[in-house]
Amino acid sequence: MPEIDPNERLQIQICRVLCIFFMMSVHVPPGRSSPSLMSTGDLAWLGYVWADVLGRASVTALSFISGYLLVRMAAEAPLAQIARRRFRSVIVPMLVWNAVFIAMVACKALLAPDPGAPWLRTDAGLLAALTGLTGPTANLSLFFLRDLFVSSLVVRLALGWLRRWPAAVLTAVAIVTVFDLAEPLIFRPSILFFAMAGAAHAQRASRLTEVLTRRLGIVLALAIGLAVAARLGLPNGGTPQRELEALLKHSLLAALVIAVSAGLTRNETGAALARLEPRIFETYLLHVPLISAAWFLWLPVFGSANLPGYAIFFFAAPLISMVAGQIFGILCDRWPGDVQRLVRGKTAGARRATA
């Protein structure tokens, strides 16, 4: 398996920064499902493109890259070793930052009851909201880490089959995704599908941006055929049809994000973005508590999300989070190693060695 060369490493760093930035836009309060200037108001079209298209495609691209890197860097590692390593680097900080968010919601509930946090009322609900074992985490953005962790283990288990029968394996996972059959193992099976697709690509390609092989092209053709069948069978729409259409849309958008990242490796903009990558995980972990606190302060001063000024908050929140994440990462570098492992999954020394 060819090693990752410096240019490809740069591309992946750029892609991670772009993806995290647009992912943060999805989580700006009051959320995409609530009425606001950017979801139902005059700028709804811009909010849709910015958050629902670019933001959600970023999850796809990150999942694909995760599967790709699993093959490139840990294909021969035992499953137990991968599980231990990823639990320490992903799940531990997820639990810590989810606990921070739960504490913030609990403090807010002391001031005014929060109907959007029913999990606060029972021990079982609180445990589920903290760990994501039986449903979404309290901090919804961190639910991605939970599913990505499980998907990585499933991909590692399936590498042998994926090497021999990539089309069959990816078709099977696509069916599981379309009909939402993975719960409670994985709640967003599209993450598993794209992680599996990234692993399959890594087994047959020498570079991330290399054109997919003919066999993987067959998988896409099967998926398109299944999409047509779903639309014919569900003329009024339904979950399988929506899931399959989302799968195809996100596939194309993720390919676009990865291609743009490759193009940015040749200019100073890409180099500037890559310099943010070593602390981008801290930015991701920090952004929801930070933006939620900022929104709590914004409301009484500037008013609701339906007012024109909300556009400033919507676009400024991810930028502020990016700056805060970099500062927080610099501060973390000076903390004891055990504290660093808790809040970001690794120490500064381990990060430099990995780089």
Instruction: Give the per-residue pLDDT at 111.
Output: 73
Q: Which of 211, 267, 186 is nearest to 195 (CA)?
A: 186
Which residue in the block uniquely carries the two structure tokens 């021999």? 164
**Residue range 317-336, pLDDT digits in tens:** 999 999 999 999 999 999 99
SS (H, E, C) 314-343: HHHHHHHHHHHHHHHHHHHCCCCHHHHHHH
**Single-letter amino acid, residue 111:** L
How many Cβ atoms sit within 10 Å of the Cβ of residue 267?
A: 9
Under 8 Å between Cβ of 330 and 279? yes
Q: How would DSSP label each residue in 182-244? A: -TTT-S-HHHHHHHHHHHHHHHH-SSTTSPPPHHHHHHHHHHHHHHHHHHHH-TT--HHHHHH
Tokens 């294909």 belong to residue:
75
| Verdict on whether the full-model pTM lies above 0.75 | yes
Taking Cα atoms as reference points, which of 165, 157, 164, 155 lies closest to residue 198? 155
Place of tokens 């994000």: 257
Q: Which amino acid is at 177?
A: T
Q: Is 60 exceeded by the pLDDT of residue 230? A: no
pLDDT higher than 70, residue 226: no
Q: Does residue 166 have a cis peptide bond before it, meaning omega lies within 30 degrees of 0?
A: no
Residue 213: the pLDDT is: 47
What the block records as the tokens of 123 is 């021990």
Q: Taking a C-beta distance cutoff of 8 angstroms, is the pair 44, 306 a contact? A: no
More reliable by pLDDT, 104 or 118:
104
pLDDT tens digits for range 130-147: 999 888 899 999 999 999
Tens digit of each residue's pLDDT (9 = 90 or more) over 253-312 = 888 888 889 889 999 999 999 999 999 999 999 999 999 999 999 999 999 999 999 999
* 228 pLDDT more than 80: no
